[in-house]
């Protein structure tokens, strides 16, 4: 670690420093950042959209690729200029703090009629009385020894009472100057880093440098910005916090903390989308060049999400969350959840992580659900919520993660907060909201409903491929049993996973053991996480699904096709889900409970 150099700053230079000029320079970089952002927005929202809609062929494809690259270049300019802005503002903020400390020391010296020398020493007048003749004790000069409050012993001579006061002022002056010099040295290093390579292209390697730049600025600007982010507040309080910021403050938070603003429940969808698109590029830059399997898998998923965002989709995509923690985080909505009357969030289950399969398969499920709902009400949006660590293969039948409730309970708490955020930012007075849980995700939805106050804003719950939800009655989910809908394909063995007692006996036999155990456990309708949601005893509304391929011919394929649409598929399940999402549950085709 490189040590901080000795201070070269004088107290007079610190006193005369014009922090307003630093803030003025910051404003200039802010304007540059805004112009780059406006240019990027015009490319993505106007030029690219118009080109895709009106032109075809190789020339059009080449033009789209060039425009996308230009858009990313502007995004890089926006990010770096925003970092410069915040760096200068944070520098001014910290320097102004030391100026105040210095001014207080100088004011105290003036009030006592002390003189502060150019070197920071403090001269004080005679005062007090000598022990022998009572004459005033001589004045003198005090210097800081770097140890505030330490005064050498005076022996038999009574000290001049001004000496200690002068030493304290000298220490405070030296402390302010020393702190200001450290701040200056630290920010000079950051500012030297904030420069781009020459050229018209911004490759992933440059984004990797940008990720490092952002981390350095975040470390420096912690007290200036980060400490004010209301992490412990409710979604409604966070919404109000954001609404109360100035435009300049919002721009700085988006530039320096896109990861936190983009993943903060209660922040409007358009803001979260903008922040997460920037953070997506930074995450790709961080992972680029790493050769470990985890990074390669994560990078493939991020790039596929980025590709879809750049390709343009209908309904439009909104990136409401992205992160690298745990098994990865991603929340992608098709349709704007803040303006749609009908909003649905789907929680995936077993073996879901931020990889290419998720970016292709789970995003398609959300997109198809949104499109299906729009057939019944155009004001609909649907999303996939990967905001927790779902259990992973290969040891699912022996894994405590799958067999236990811990991940569902932790995920349920976060999902509850997320749904509360959607309710807080939606423009409609009473939007229709649906929570969808698939596989272990249904257990996570169940856990979300058991938080204090239930799941905020949720009207309907859809459970598909469920091994149980942690409660034994539909009415315990808090929305009324007539608003709980269950899809359980006949050949989906996950919906027949045995109770924990029988499952422990069948575990050694693997998936087949679970299937056999489930067939033996039909009498009391118990599954691993409680009563079978498709059973009469549970009391939900079971809707029609395709029976799916058998375990012998298709393995566990029946567990994965509840959202499938297309001419080669039986879309009954997907269509029923879409009707619930769109608020047309009365049209759902039901079937007999187990």
pLDDT for 250 beyond 70: yes
Residue 548's contacts (CB-CB under 8 Å, 6 or more residues apart) are: 489, 490, 491, 492, 554, 557, 558, 559, 561
At residue 251, the pLDDT reads 86
Of the chain, the percentage scoring pLDDT greater than 70 comes to 85
Quick one: pLDDT band at residue 270, thresholds 50, 70, 90? Answer: very high
Per-residue pLDDT at 6 = 53
pLDDT at 198: 67
| Encoded tokens for 431 | 């939007």
Q: Report the range of poorest mean pLDDT among 34-48, 72-86, 546-560.
A: 546-560
Give me the mean pLDDT over the 34-58 stretch: 82
pLDDT of residue 1 exceeding 70, the answer is: no
Does the pLDDT of residue 128 top 50, yes or no?
A: yes
Report how far residue 575's alpha carbon sits from residue 564's, in angstroms, rounded to the nearest whole number: 9
pTM (predicted TM-score): 0.77
pLDDT tens, position by position, 294-345: 999 999 999 999 999 988 778 999 999 999 999 999 999 999 999 999 999 9
- Cα dihedral 462, 467, 469, 473 sign: positive
Q: Give the CA distances from residue 106 to residues 15, 114, 176, in Å, rounded to whole numbers and listed in that order.
A: 10, 9, 11
Structure tokens at 49: 């959209």
pLDDT > 60? residue 165: yes
Range name among 134-138, 291-295, 406-410, 545-549 with the lowest pLDDT average? 134-138
For 60-64, 469-473, 567-571, which range has the lowest pLDDT when averaged over its residues? 567-571
CA–CA dist 548, 565 (Å, integer)? 13
Higher pLDDT: 427 or 554? It is 427
Q: Highest mean pLDDT range out of 215-219, 421-425, 487-491?
A: 421-425
pLDDT tens for each residue of 393-433: 654 444 444 557 889 999 999 999 999 999 999 999 999 99
Predicted confidence at residue 121, as pLDDT, reads: 93
Which residue, among 322, 331, 318, 213, has the nearest Cα to 260 in the 3D structure? 322
What distance in Å separates the CA atoms of residue 338 and residue 446, rounded to the nearest whole number? Answer: 24
Pairwise CA distance, residues 211 & 283, whole Å: 7
Alpha helices in 43-155 (DSSP H): 48-54, 58-111
Beta bridge pairs of residue 115? 123
What backbone torsions phi and psi does residue 178 show, to the nearest 5 degrees?
-65, -45
Query: Helix, strand, or coil here: 466?
Result: coil
% residues pLDDT > 90 (the chain): 52
Query: Which residue's structure tokens are 């905020």?
Result: 456
């Amino acid at each position: 670690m490189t040590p901080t150099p000795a201070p070269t700053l004088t107290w007079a230079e610190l006193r005369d420093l014009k922090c307003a000029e630093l803030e003025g320079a910051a404003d200039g970089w802010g304007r540059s950042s805004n112009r780059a952002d406006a240019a990027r927005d015009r490319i993505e929202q106007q030029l690219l959209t118009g080109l895709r809609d009106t032109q075809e062929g190789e020339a059009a494809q080449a033009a789209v690729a060039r425009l996308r690259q230009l858009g990313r270049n502007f995004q890089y300019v926006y990010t770096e200029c925003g970092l410069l802005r915040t760096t200068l503002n944070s520098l001014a903020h910290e320097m102004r703090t030391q100026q105040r400390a210095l001014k207080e020391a100088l004011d105290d010296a003036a009030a006592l009629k002390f003189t502060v020398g150019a070197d920071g020493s403090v001269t004080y007048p005679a005062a007090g009385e000598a022990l022998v003749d009572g004459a005033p004790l001589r004045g003198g000069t005090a210097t800081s020894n770097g140890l505030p409050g330490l005064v050498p012993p005076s022996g038999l001579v009574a000290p001049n009472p001004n000496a200690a006061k002068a030493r304290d002022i000298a220490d405070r002056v030296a402390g302010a100057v020393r702190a200001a010099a450290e701040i200056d040295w630290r920010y000079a290093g950051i500012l030297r880093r904030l420069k781009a390579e020459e050229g018209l292209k911004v490759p992933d390697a440059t984004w990797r440098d940008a990720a490092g730049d952002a981390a350095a600025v975040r470390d420096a600007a912690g007290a200036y910005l980060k400490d004010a982010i209301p992490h412990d507040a409710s979604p409604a309080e966070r919404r109000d916090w954001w609404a109360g910021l100035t435009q300049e403050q919002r721009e700085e938070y988006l530039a320096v903390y896109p990861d936190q603003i983009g993943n903060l429940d209660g922040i409007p969808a358009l803001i979260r989308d903008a922040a997460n698109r920037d953070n997506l590029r930074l995450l790709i830059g961080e992972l680029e060049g790493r050769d470990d399997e985890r990074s390669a898998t994560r990078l493939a998923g991020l790039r596929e999400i980025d590709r879809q965002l750049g390709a343009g989709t209908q309904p439009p995509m909104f990136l409401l969350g992205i992160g690298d923690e745990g098994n990865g985080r991603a929340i992608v909505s098709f349709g704007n959840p803040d303006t749609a009357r009908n909003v649905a969030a789907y929680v995936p289950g077993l073996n879901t992580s931020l990889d290419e399969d998720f970016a292709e398969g789970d995003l398609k499920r959300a997109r198809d659900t949104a499109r299906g709902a729009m057939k019944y009400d155009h004001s609909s949006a649907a999303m996939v919520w990967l905001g927790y660590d779902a259990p992973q293969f290969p040891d699912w039948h022996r894994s405590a993660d799958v067999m236990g409730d811990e991940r569902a309970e932790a995920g349920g708490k976060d999902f509850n907060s997320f749904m509360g955020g959607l309710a807080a930012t939606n423009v409609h007075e009473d939007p229709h909201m649906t929570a969808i849980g698939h596989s272990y995700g249904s257990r996570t939805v169940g856990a979300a409903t058991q938080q204090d106050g239930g799941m905020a804003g949720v009207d309907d719950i859809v459970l598909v491929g469920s091994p149980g939800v942690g409660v034994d009655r539909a009415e315990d989910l808090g929305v009324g049993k007539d608003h709980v809908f269950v899809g359980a394909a006949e050949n989906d063995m996950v919906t027949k996973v045995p109770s924990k007692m029988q499952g422990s006996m069948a575990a050694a036999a693997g998936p087949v053991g679970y299937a056999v155990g489930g067939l033996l456990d039909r009498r009391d309708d118990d599954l691993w996480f409680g009563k079978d949601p498709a059973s009469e005893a549970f009391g939900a509304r079971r809707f029609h699904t395709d029976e799916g391929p058998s375990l012998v011919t298709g393995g566990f394929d029946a567990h994965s096709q509840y959202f499938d649409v297309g001419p080669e598929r039986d879309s009954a399940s997907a269509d029923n889900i879409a009707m619930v999402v769109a608020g047309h549950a009365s049209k759902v085709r039901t079937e007999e409970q187990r």
